[in-house]
Structures are given as structure tokens and as C-alpha cells.
Amino acid sequence: MAGAYTYIGRSTPREDASRVVTGTVQFIDDIALPGLLHGRVLRSPHAHALVKAVDKTKAEALVGVEAVLAWEDVPDWKGGMTNSTRVLDRKVRFVGDAVAIVAATTRKTAAEALDLIDVEYEILPGVFTLDDALDPGAPQLYEDYPGNVVTPGVPGWGPESLKDLVTGDVDGGFREADVVAEGVFGCENIPNPMPPETPGAIGLWEEPNKITVWVSDQAFYKHKGYLRRIVGSGFDIKTIGVPCGGSYGSKNMSWQLQLHAVLLSKATGRPVKLVLSKEEQLAAFTLRPSSRMHVKVGLKRDGTVTALSGRWLVETGHYSQTTQAQVAVGLGEAQLAIRCANWDLHPAIVCTNRNASGMVRGFGGQELKCSLTPILSLAMEKAGLDPFEFFKKNYVKPGDGYFWRNGKWYVYRGVDYAAAMDEGAKRFGWAEKWKGWLNPSEVSGTKRRGVGVCVHGNADIGEDPSEAYVRLDPDGTATIHSALVEHGTGQKTNIVKMVAEVLQLPLDRVSQLPTDSSNSPFERGPGGSRGTYATGSAVIAAAEDARHKLLESAAHALGADPADLDTDSGMVFRKNEPSERISWEAAVGRRTCIGYGRFEEDFTLANCMMTFVEVEVDTETGHVTLIEVVNTTDVGQIIDPPGLEGQMNGCLGSGGIDSALFEETVLDSSTGRMLDSNMVDYRWRTFFELPSVHNVVLETPFASHRFGAVGVGEVATAPGPAAALMAASNAIGVWLDGYPATPQRVLRALGNVAPGRTGGGAT
């Protein structure tokens, strides 16, 4: 559909391309402010302990050390979804929890100071699994969370935000079913999305109450309000978004890191930079929540889901930043993938003594579907159903309704994704490769191939409001005022393309203001694939408003009606007489035209990604090799072809398909210590191990905005893990009992090794 547009749907250079490849982009660790100090965090070696005393004397005496702070030196600021976690606490709750913070003139000096701090601990018993945490006699992490169960609900989404999913007549639904299956399965692997740039922030406290934070984050603007919620309303807070070296959802909230830098700045009177090491990123920053489901499902033989009931346990680690929100979104996304009138699904969020869970791409729904799909597979096997046909039948159709995260009922008004699914199946060769449940598609000696498929989608493509301004200057240029920060996807280039398309300006005549909350209108930031629809709608509306004002001004000069005019390359002309034209300057004189656009949240559209996977399993060694991946979707209108391709090719790592095959965070269940918090032991796929990846993209216009597009970046990773585990199970002819499908787990399933460490298990 690119033929209809000048820039939309066409490959164009990213607006930051030359700066990225020449190394002139300033990421957080490149910023050098006058008098800048470096911060470091002393982290607990114990999973659960009381800090009895902190002796800072030797550290404070070290030349170059400007401040050493412990819990007794800082305000009682609390964050998290329900403000339960202190910025520094006398109780530590995981190996890596912050005990003290240091500011020094160099990073090396700050690190040396950490070794000079003496801490006396009273070690407490810890809980490291869902079962341990829920035991009636379990150690308690917080007084606020009796039984280690976190308060459900998201206050900001209203009193009806989804805490469970109860609707219809579940007992009646099971009576209608042709088959009923029940099982327990867990996605208890907690892989790290591992963006290349580690999280970081710079804090500056200026007396008496002015706080400025520079942050490497995909959604910097919301920190302005979030930090104020923690520190109180009597502060003047400014947040500045710097280019973010990848996020994959994880660098969406880092309030503790930011406030550590701010508190050190207050103590020293100088700006303080705090950037995590790679080990800290792995062992102390947020991970994906762990998930386990005990579910009963009823199916008819035509693939209709008649009832679904059960319990969903979600492990959040030592505190909850966003887990309540992930549960609410996950419950909504379950309804997009499974058309069922009768639900009785009850989540519980559980605290354990490991590092916290937070935002990761696939927010909530991936955790749910990775646990639920293997149990659904048991029911499909009983009913003799093809999983591709099952998912195609059950994915939300125009006119279907669902409860979304705020507890309100919405009716879907998007496209039917069945056509895209059919195209993907054809490209993959599903009909030829699918041989039935637990049957390999091909056998060669000890090697067996298997296939799997899963689907995922999200109505958060329209989450939260967005605002933008577009200013037209007399010299024929346009400037975008938006709080959208570049986080690696090229989204800032996409909004330039949108504005250039509306105004028919060359791309190099559209620029953007620096991302600073003091001069940017409200913007939630990327998340839930909302950039294309939500942010895009605000920017498009602002450009259209500015264009309207320009044409109104030009109408007087040309003696024409504004509806009879158009603009191109900084000129205004009559549509019926294109040679009769004037410059923008002649049209508006010495003034600017400022357009304003706002998007109001809309949960009536949803995106979709279906992923087909083929793997090969060596039954002698247990090794699983990813052979082929086909992703298929419909985006309405491609905005930027290379950007879309990159997002979909990102289905492998960052908590995607490889979290079902080998990416794994290994926690010592006796000490709570992470055993692979380094880039040697934490396994990632190299370029030499890349499989064949094909992407099928349809363009059926959506009722979204001027260009009829929706985004798919957030859901690109989500269906892959469940599809990969399904494929591996089909290859070996035995259900695998958890993620990832390591050689040990494969061989154990085949009966070739003794039982060992396990996750969940389908029964």
C-alpha cells in the first residue's frame, strides 16, 4: 500500500541513523555534566535479613568519596504499585537488594568505597518458590502483604480493574463440553530481556526542592508524575529522556535507581550518575514474572471453548512494580485469544526472596499463555483438534466483546485476522508438516522434527492518552513537540514520516524538540505496541490542526476557500491551479501555526501475532535446534518496512522463543543467589545460530487513524515460547514439563535421566 503515500510504507533512513553509526548519540553513560559524581550501590549478600548496623567510617574517609548513605540517612520514600517498598530499607529481601549508596569523584573510587562499608546483618529465613511462599508458616516479606500475597488491582485504572475473570455459567459450560482436560503447568523460567545498554540515571537536586532526572528509559515522561507520587507534591520535578539503548519493555520503570542518584545529589550538592553493571542488570534489575496455572478447560469437538476455570499463581519476586497491571492485562488478553462465555479464573500475586518482576515485552499475556497453552493442548489432543485451526477459530472477531484491564466491557471493531493466519500457515507449510499431537513431522535417525503454533494479541495498542504539538515555521519547516523517546525501534522516525506525509514536506524539514518534560506535552511513551496508534494519532492530529491553520491563513492571501488549497514542500497552492502558489512565509507572515493533537485511550482495537515454529530434537543428546520460524500478522498499513521487519525478527531473544529453548535465569533455591548473572553463563543465541525467520504481513486498513495502521512490536515475542515448547513435545512424542526445553528436561521426559530440578508440569 506504499504507492498511496510519499513516505508512509516506504523504506527511509532513520532520523538518528548517522548519529548512531558515527557514535555521536549521547546515551546516559556518555553524558558529562559539570561536577558530575559517580554512584554505586552496596548490595546485600543475603536473600532476607535485617540490617542491624552500617559502619560507613572507612568509606567516608577514602579520598574522592563525597557521600555514603544508608536507610537511616534518607527519607521514608516508598514505591511500587501500592507504595510498599522503600527507596532504602533496613530490611533486605533478595540477594542484590540495596543496603547503602555511595557517590565519589570516579567510578573506581565509588567501587572501592563499597568494600570499606561494614554491615552487620541478622539473617532471616527466606522463601524462594511459590509453594514455600504460600506455606502457612512461611517467613513474611512485608507486613502489608499477609501470607506473601500482594494486594490485587491497579488504583490508577479505577476500582473495577481486573483482579480475576468471572463471567457466565462455568458449571453449565463444562456440561456442554465434549471433552474436559485439567492440568498444572508453569512458565517458571524467568529470563532476562537484557537490552544492550544497562539501566542508568543522572540525578540533580537543586535547593530547596527542585529535582531533575536524566533517564535511559522508554517512557521517561511518566516518571515526572510517578516520582512526585513517591516524594510528595511539594517538589518541582523535571525528567529528561535520553536515547535508550534498547528496552524490550524492561526499562520502563526504574524509580529506585533514579532516586538513589537524586538522594546522593542532595547529599553532595552535585549531579550524580548511577549506571548498573551488566551483572547488576542480570541479578538486581527487574525480570519477567514467574507463572503457574492449575486450569480445567472444556471443549467441543468443533473447537468451541465452553468453560475455563482455575487458579493462576504469579510470582513477582521481592516486590511488585507492575505485576498487578500485568495480571489485569493478561486476563484481558486471554479473552482475545480464547472466545469463551464462561470463565472462573482467579490470580494470586506472590512475593518471594528474589529480585523483583516488572515490565517485559509480552506484558502479562505472555506469562499467562505460556502457562495456559500446554493445558489447552491437552484438551485439543483429547478432542482431536488441529491447534492452528483452534487458534484461528478462537481469536477475537469483529463484534466480539471482552473485559479489558480496567474491568470495562469493549466490543472489538478491528479486522478479522483469519486471513493473515491462513497466509502464515501457507508460508510455513502447516498442513503438510502437522502430523497430529505428539507425532514428529520428520524422523532421521536420532533426530526428530516437530511443529507448534500459538497466537497473541493486545488491546493496549490504544492504552492511555497521548498529546503532541506540531509547529509550522514561516521558513517551511515543521517541529514536533512530543515526549516520545527513541528506545531502539525507530518510532521517532515514524512520527516524522507521519507529519511529513500530512504536510507533504521533505523528511529533512521535519524536526523534533529534545525530550524534556518541561517543554513536552503528556505522552505515556511506548508500551503495548501503542506507539503507532496512540502516539501516532496525537501527532497526526497535531499536524492536521497546524495544516488547517496554515491553509486558513493562506486562503486570504490567495482569495480562496481553505478547502480548495493544499500544501507541498513549504508552499501553498490551489488544487485546481497548482501553478498558483505562495510560500508559507507569504501565507502566514512573521508568525507560526501551532497545531495540537490528543488521543484518548481506546481498547476497541487489538493487534495479533501468530507464530509457527519448527524444531529438531536430538533424542540422544536432548539438544533442541530451532529450524524455522514464520510470524504472521496484519498491521493495517506498514509505516516503516525495515522497522517492522526488525521488530518481528526480534521474536527470538529478549524473552521470546529462546526462553522456551535455553535462555534461563538460574536461582540457587537454598541461598537465593543467581548463578548465571554474567554474559558467559547466561546463554544467548549468537548470529551463527540464527534460524530461518519469515514474516508474513497483510495490510487491511484499520479504523485507527489517517493511515489505518496498528503496531505489533510488543507482541512480536509473545506467542513464540508456547509454540516452541509445543513443537519440541510433538517432536519427541512426550509432553515436556516446563520451560526451557533444556537437554536435561528433554532426556528426563524421554526417561533417559533421573528426575531433577523441575518447573511446572502438565498432568
508-543 pLDDT, tens digit per residue, is 999 999 888 888 899 988 888 999 999 999 999 999
pLDDT at 453 over 80: yes
Least trusted range by pLDDT, from 73-82, 137-146, 666-675, 752-761:
752-761
Is residue 207 domain-shared with residue 66, that is, in the same domain?
Answer: yes
Q: What is the mean pLDDT of residues 162-190?
A: 96
Rounded to whole angstroms, the Cα distance separating 463 from 541 reads 17
Model confidence at 2: pLDDT above 80: no
Coil, helix or strand at residue 43: strand
Do residues 220 and 527 make contact, with C-beta atoms less than 8 angstroms apart?
no
Distance CA 527, CA 542 (A): 21
Q: What pTM value is reported for the model? A: 0.95
Predicted local distance difference test score (pLDDT) of residue 760: 36
Per-residue confidence (pLDDT) for residue 755, from 0 to 100? 55
Residues 216 and 303 reside in one and the same domain: no
Note whether residue 143 is domain-resident: no
The secondary structure of 658-700 as a DSSP string is GGGTT----B-TTT--BS--STTTS----GGG--EEEEEEE--
Question: How high is the pLDDT of residue 332?
Answer: 97
Sheet holding 91-92: strands in order across? Answer: 91-92, 49-55, 118-123
Sign of the dihedral through C-alpha 177, 183, 189, 190:
positive
From 568, 599, 630, give the residue that closes a domain.
599
- Tell me what pLDDT residue 245 has: 85
Per-residue pLDDT, 1: 59
Residue 152 domain flag? no
User: What is the per-residue pLDDT for 91?
Assistant: 97
Residue 101's pLDDT band (cuts 50, 70, 90): very high
> Is pLDDT larger for residue 572 or for residue 762?
572
Is the same domain home to 228 and 299?
no
Q: Report d(CA 126, CA 48) in Å as an integer.
A: 6
Residue 759 has pLDDT above 60, yes or no: no
Q: Spell out the SS3 assignment of 63-83.
A: CCEEEEEEHHHCCCCEECCCC
What CATH number is given to the structural domain containing 503?
3.30.365.10
Is position 171 within any domain?
A: no
Residues 127-160 pLDDT 10s = 999 999 999 999 999 999 999 999 999 988 999 9
Q: Which one is predicted more confidently, 746 or 527?
A: 746
CB 472 within 8 A of CB 546: yes
Residue 240 pLDDT greater than 50, yes or no: yes
Of the pLDDT bands very low, low, confident and very high (cuts 50, 70, 90), residue 315 is very high
418 and 536 share one domain: no
Distances (CA, A) of 645 to 18, 489, 635, 638: 20, 11, 12, 10
Domain identity same for 582 and 638: no
CATH number of the domain bearing residue 60: 3.90.1170.50
Given a cut of 90, whether residue 193 has pLDDT beyond it is no
Say yes or no: 357 and 486 in one domain.
no
Structural domain contains residue 167: no
Residue 699 and residue 559 share a domain:
no
Kindly indicate the confidence band of residue 252, based on its pLDDT and cuts at 50, 70 and 90. confident
Of all residues in the chain, the percent with pLDDT exceeding 90 is 82
Same domain, 722 and 682: yes
Tell me what pLDDT residue 763 has.
33
157 falls within a domain: no
With 60 as the cut, is the pLDDT of residue 761 above it? no
Q: Which of 539, 573, 599 is the last residue of a domain?
A: 599
- Domain-terminating residue out of 226, 260, 283: 283
Q: What's the burial of 208, exposed, middle or buried (CB within 10 Å: 0-12/13-18/19+)?
A: exposed
Residue 756 has a pLDDT of 47
Polymer length in residues for the chain: 763
The pLDDT value given to residue 753 = 66
How far is residue 49's CA from residue 46's CA, in Å, rounded to a whole number?
6
How many domains is the chain partitioned into structurally?
Answer: 3
Examine the domain organization and report whether 439 and 548 are in the same domain: no
What range does the domain containing 520 cover? 2-25+464-599
Q: Tell me the CA end-to-end span of the chain in Å, nearest whole number.
A: 48
Identify whether residues 223 and 368 lie together within a single domain: no
**What is the tens place of the pLDDT at every residue in 56-78?**
999 999 999 999 999 999 999 99
Residue 570 lies in a domain: yes
Place 327 in a pLDDT band, splitting at 50, 70 and 90: very high
Say if 546 falls within a structural domain. yes
Claim to verify: residue 468 and residue 589 sit in the same structural domain = yes
Give the bridge partners for 32, in sequence order.
Answer: none
Residue 472 has pLDDT above 90, yes or no: yes
Q: What percent of the chain has pLDDT over 70?
A: 98
Dihedral sign of CA atoms 732, 738, 742, 748 in order: negative
pLDDT (mean) for 476-504: 94
On whether both 564 and 511 belong to a single domain, the answer is yes
> Span 21-48, mean pLDDT?
95
DSSP string of 157-220? G-TT--S-EEES-HHHHHHH-SEEEEEEEEE--------SSPPEEEEEEETTTEEEEEEE-TTT
User: Within a domain: residue 79?
Assistant: yes
Judged against a pLDDT cut of 80, whether residue 387 lies above it is answered with yes
- List, for residues 693-739, the tens digit of each pLDDT value: 999 999 999 999 999 999 999 999 999 999 999 999 999 999 999 99
pLDDT at 703: 95
Provide the mean pLDDT of the chain.
94
Is the confidence at residue 758, as pLDDT, over 50? no
pLDDT(330) > 50: yes
Q: HSE on the CB side for 161, CA within 13 Å?
A: 17
